[in-house]
């Protein structure tokens, strides 16, 4: 196949993908989800900023990695990655970079982060078993739930790769009952993020 033909084929695939997302309402769904989540995101950022103004959160976390033994840091990291994942993994990656076997500890961190996300998924599934939550999702959120299930893979990939809480993405996937085997597959991109961050941070330290 000639280069121009390959280019046209690639463009046609992207065009078809764009049409699919347009027809299924994916773009509208994403925009609405961002708008709805924006007040909460701004609120969380505001709270963190206020706390950090009076108390150096990052400094405290760095100090924590210095005084705790390795298993203590790893346990704290796993708990963080399971419960909302609001502590930046970069702090722990930087900690691993100062150890004698940085890539070994980076690998352990990646596995713990991945495992924490999977635990969060099942926490989300358990939430849906509450009668009030189940009724709310099935009645008032039926349309949104249907769309969320359709694009659950995108949700997981964004949480795994971008600097967003992976735990929250996995918990949301559990709430919408996105297939667990797909969460395992899409969530494996978490290892790619840790590898990239490790290459960057280890070369800076």
Q: Where are the domains of the chain?
A: 1-55, 69-204
d(CA 142, CA 148): 10
State the pLDDT confidence band at 119, using cuts at 50, 70 and 90: very high
The pLDDT > 70 percentage for the chain reads 60
What number of other Cβ atoms are within 10 A of residue 49's Cβ? 10
Kindly state the tokens that stand for 156. Answer: 């997981």
Choose the weakest-confidence range: 79-88, 102-111, 117-126. 79-88
Q: Confidence band (pLDDT; 50, 70, 90) for 110? A: very high
Residues 6+ apart with CB under 8 A from 94: 62, 201, 205
φ/ψ bin of 41: left (φ > 0), alpha (ψ from -120 to 50), beta (otherwise) = alpha
How many other CB atoms are found less than 10 A from the CB of residue 81? 27
Backbone φ and ψ of 200, nearest 5°: -75, -50
Which strand (E) or helix (H) includes residue 160? helix 152-161
């Amino acid at each position: 196949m000639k280069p121009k033909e390959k280019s046209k084929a690639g463009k046609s695939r992207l065009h078809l993908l764009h049409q699919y997302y347009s027809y299924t309402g994916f773009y509208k769904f994403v925009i609405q989800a961002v708008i709805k989540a924006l007040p909460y995101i701004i609120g969380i950022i505001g709270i963190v900023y206020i706390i950090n103004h009076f108390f150096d959160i990052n400094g405290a976390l760095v100090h924590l990695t210095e005084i705790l033994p390795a298993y203590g840091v790893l346990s704290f990291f796993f708990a963080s990655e399971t419960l909302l994942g609001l502590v930046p993994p970069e702090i722990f990656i930087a900690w691993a970079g100062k150890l004698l076997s940085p890539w070994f500890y980076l690998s352990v961190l990646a596995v713990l982060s991945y495992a924490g996300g999977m635990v969060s998924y099942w926490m989300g599934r358990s939430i849906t078993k509450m009668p009030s939550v189940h009724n709310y999702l099935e009645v008032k959120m039926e349309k949104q739930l249907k769309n969320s299930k359709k694009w659950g893979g995108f949700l997981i990939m964004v949480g795994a790769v971008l600097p967003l809480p992976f735990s929250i993405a996995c918990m949301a996937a559990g709430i919408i009952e996105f297939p667990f085997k797909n969460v395992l597959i899409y969530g494996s991109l978490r290892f790619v993020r840790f590898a990239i961050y490790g290459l960057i941070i280890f070369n800076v330290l």
